[in-house]
Amino acid sequence: MKGYYFILIASVLFFSCEKAVEFDLDESSPKLVAEATIENDQAPFVVLTKSLNYFSEISADILASGFIRNAEVYVSNGILTHRLKEYAVPIGIYTLYYYSTDSANLATSFKGELDRDYSLRIVTGGREYTASTTIPALTKRIDSVFWKQAPGSNDSNKVALMVKATDPPGYGDYIRYFTKRNSEPYYPAINSVFDDQIIDGTTYEVEVERGVDRNIGLHEGYSFFDKGDTVTLKLCNINKATFDFWRTMEFSYSSVGNPFSSPTKVLGNISNGALGYFGGYAAQFRTVIIPK
């Protein structure tokens, strides 16, 4: 009986101390979200959208209507300043929009070059936003790409992609990588950015996880490739600002839905309170055909 009374009293105390907590969050004004990139031998590419509130309903219609249209977007390489043109891409019943080189004004257009600085200027809704980035030199070198049987897998058709690379002496070499499988697009891995704190100045071999489409769920063995695949590795040197953006963004991705995770601030580089980033990529490619 004493045990029963203890449980009863503890229950009363517990529920008497319980207090309902309600969050009354203010609706915030939408912010500009920019995803802007420039890569060696490629034209600048900019996507502009509006942010949603944390508890906003998300649907294909809402996302499709979130693009920022008719903005003034300028990219400069320090010598030329080019106003980008808005392009539309119909996908089913929806249309996606992006900004890139204006083919009617090629006199001021340019493509990305290694070891060069770039600036971005966006004017929309009566406000101006700016950012800057660098396409670094190709400091980290791919020596070779090869494959081996997938470790820990019972499926003999699964293989792991391996890379042998050399990191130059001196800290501060940051990379982001993507993989392309057969005719698929280039996808970044779940963790796609790395620094050289551990491997500085060394030649090393490491497994390269397969890039993933974050719009679909992951399955067992998602990081491996199959025999018969043609795989291209895209390894990009990036600057620290681009590294910090994707490092914090990918941590935020991985912690969504985890009640024990700490809040993460995504570190963008767009001015005037906007979200997103302007990043430069120094890309190199290697392709391997995995025999059946």
The predicted-structure confidence for 242-265, as pLDDT tens digits, reads as follows: 999 999 999 988 776 555 556 678
User: What confidence score (pLDDT) does residue 11 get?
Assistant: 42
User: What confidence score (pLDDT) does residue 7 get?
Assistant: 36
Rounded to whole angstroms, the maximal C-alpha distance in the chain is 91
101 pLDDT band, cuts 50/70/90, is very high
C-alpha–C-alpha distance, residues 148 and 203, integer Å: 19
User: What confidence score (pLDDT) does residue 253 get?
Assistant: 82
pLDDT in tens, 169-224: 999 999 999 999 999 999 999 999 999 999 999 999 999 999 999 888 888 889 99
13 pLDDT above the threshold of 70: no
pLDDT in tens, 128-149: 999 999 999 999 999 999 999 9
List the domains of the chain with CATH numbers. 32-135 (2.60.40), 141-259+281-289 (2.60.40)
